[in-house]
């Protein structure tokens, strides 16, 4: 079985993430989409809420499992029997950070390889942070996130007094 993990913050999942997940799911027998559960990093959604949104968005992909993880991603990969970490790369601004992380992960465990998937050009500018920023000021986000994520995002922002809508 070829098993991979696709780790991230996913706060919340965007269509750019989903494009990478869908393409990666065709390369592996089993793909774990893993939300880092890190209480030190402030997030809009809890790790469980982020997993719920991912599960709904990937429901049609039979070989994809969504869950949280804690600690080092290489250790989590080993626990799941995965030999590959998949990361989407949008452009040169992502490359330095991603190369550093891949190099560190390789130091930590040379048995786990990192695979970069280039973002589809139409999602090259999408990030969870920009989607949250645009939504906060009442801009349109329906082209960047699934409808159920948009609803959750707008209601969370409304509840926290952060949306003009």
Interface with ligand PNS (CB under 6 A): 7-9, 36, 72-73, 101, 104-105
Please identify, using beta-carbon distances, which residue of 9 and 120 lies nearer to ligand PNS: 9
Cis status of the peptide bond prior to 12, with omega within 30 of 0 = yes
Tokens of 49: 């809420």
Check if 26 is active-site. no
Which residue in 26, 41, 42, 92 is the catalytic one?
Answer: 41
Check if 92 is active-site. no
Residue nearest to ligand PNS (CB): 8
Please identify, using beta-carbon distances, which residue of 35 and 141 lies nearer to ligand PNS: 35
Check if 148 is active-site. no
Min dist. Cβ of residue 151 to ligand PNS (A): 22
Min dist. Cβ of residue 47 to ligand PNS (A): 11
DSSP 53: H
Number of CB atoms found within 10 A of residue 140's CB: 9
Number of CB atoms found within 10 A of residue 49's CB: 17
Phi/psi at 119 (nearest 5 deg)? -60, 150
Please identify, using beta-carbon distances, which residue of 8 and 135 lies nearer to ligand PNS: 8
Number of CB atoms found within 10 A of residue 65's CB: 16
Active centre residues (catalytic)? 17, 41, 90, 128
């Amino acid at each position: 079985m070829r098993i991979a993990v696709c780790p991230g913050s996913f706060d919340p999942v965007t269509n750019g993430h989903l494009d990478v997940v869908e393409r990666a799911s065709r390369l592996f027998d089993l793909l774990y989409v893993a939300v880092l559960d890190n209480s030190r990093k402030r997030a809009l959604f809890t790790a469980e809420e982020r997993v719920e949104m991912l599960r709904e968005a990937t429901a049609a992909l039979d070989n994809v499992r969504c869950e949280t993880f804690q600690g080092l991603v290489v250790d989590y990969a080993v626990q799941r029997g995965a030999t590959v970490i998949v990361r989407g790369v949008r452009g040169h601004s992502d490359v330095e950070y991603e190369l550093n992380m891949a190099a560190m992960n390789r130091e930590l465990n040379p048995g786990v390889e990192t695979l970069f998937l280039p973002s589809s050009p139409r999602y090259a500018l999408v990030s969870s942070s920009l989607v949250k920023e645009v939504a906060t000021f009442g801009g349109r986000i329906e082209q960047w996130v699934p409808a159920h994520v948009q609803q959750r995002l707008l209601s969370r922002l409304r509840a926290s007094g952060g949306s003009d809508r």
